[in-house]
Amino acid sequence: MPTDTRATRLAVLISGGGSNLRALLDVIAADAGFGGEVVVVGSDRTDAAGLEHARTAGVATVVEELPRGADAATRAAWEQRLTEGLAAHQPEVVVLAGFMRILSGGFLARWPDRVVNTHPSLLPAFRGAHAVREALAHGVKLTGCTVHLVDEEVDHGPILAQEAVPVLPGDTEVALHERIKAVEHRLLPACVRALCHDHVTVVGRRAEVRLAPDTAEQELHP
């Protein structure tokens, strides 16, 4: 754990409504010992509704839109602009909270083992953008959410925490996703808090997570 009391600087990336961003901001506001503060919110969409959460909280925003069908050079230039926009605020941890773009190894190398994502399935099942829909189509009885560190493969990095969510008879994609989000709103802030307090240890694909000081006796295991 750091010896100083300075808050860890957090960047949050979103593409849509930003419910996980809102949950993170609420937890930080309510928890004096959280150990982190959101200093910038980034998005790939100017119309992302979650940007309003940032503005309401007085948090700076960086918006870089990526044109549909962009080629590799355009994507690289887009990512560079986004990276520079975030870096201007000197974040130490980057939180992907419903960010629907794949980031390159160059981006991840800037914040090694400090880019964290939440995904609406029990990885490694149902990777990718349609996890909830695919879980329903597959007929599983349990799905859930996973919080993990990000590597160069999609929904693949070391798992910090997982929690199961039952699939109920007659579930729709929207209904199931809302129940998964309710779990994400607890699990993602808990893992970000642990990162802020250096309570995450990664060896290969295995991560050990200890919740921050006042709940340090609890552990989250993959």
> CATH no. for residue 62?
3.40.50.170
Task: Say if 107 falls within a structural domain.
Answer: yes
Catalytic residue among 53, 89, 119, 197: 119
Boundary residue ending a domain (112, 144, 169): 112
Overall domain count for the chain: 2
Q: Write down how long the chain is.
A: 222
Beta-bridge partners for 149: 116
Calpha distance 63→43 (Å, rounded): 5
Calpha distance 6→9 (Å, rounded): 9
pLDDT at residue number 2: 44
Task: Say if 204 falls within a structural domain.
Answer: yes
Residues 14 and 38 in one domain: yes
79 within 8 A of 106, measured Cβ to Cβ: yes
Task: Say if 19 falls within a structural domain.
Answer: yes
SS3 97: coil
pTM of the model: 0.91
pLDDT at residue number 195: 97
Residue 194: pLDDT band with limits 50, 70, 90: very high
> In percent, how much of the chain has pLDDT > 70?
93
Calpha distance 83→98 (Å, rounded): 17
Instruction: Decide if 119 is catalytic.
Output: yes
pLDDT at residue number 61: 98
Residues 56 and 130 in one domain: no
Calpha distance 120→187 (Å, rounded): 12
pLDDT at residue number 217: 38
Calpha distance 66→164 (Å, rounded): 34
Task: Say if 2 falls within a structural domain.
Answer: no
Task: Say if 1 falls within a structural domain.
Answer: no
pLDDT at residue number 186: 96
pLDDT digits (tens, 9 = 90+) for 72-115: 999 999 999 999 999 999 999 999 999 999 999 999 999 999 99
pLDDT digits (tens, 9 = 90+) for 115-171: 999 999 999 999 999 999 999 999 999 999 999 999 988 888 999 999 999 999 999
Rounded mean pLDDT, 40-63? 97
Residues 148 and 215 in one domain: yes
| Domain span including residue 171 | 118-222
Residue 9 has pLDDT above 80, yes or no: yes
Instruction: Indicate the helix (H) or strand (E) that contains 178.
Output: helix 173-196
Residues 26 and 100 in one domain: yes
pLDDT digits (tens, 9 = 90+) for 167-193: 999 999 999 999 999 999 999 999 999
Residues 162 and 217 in one domain: yes
Measured CA distances, 138 to 79, 124, 131, 135, 142 (Å): 34, 14, 10, 5, 11
pLDDT at residue number 212: 52
Measured CA distances, 205 to 93, 130, 195, 221 (Å): 19, 24, 17, 12
* Amino acid of residue 203: V
pLDDT at residue number 4: 55
Calpha distance 2→181 (Å, rounded): 31
Residues 122 and 222 in one domain: yes
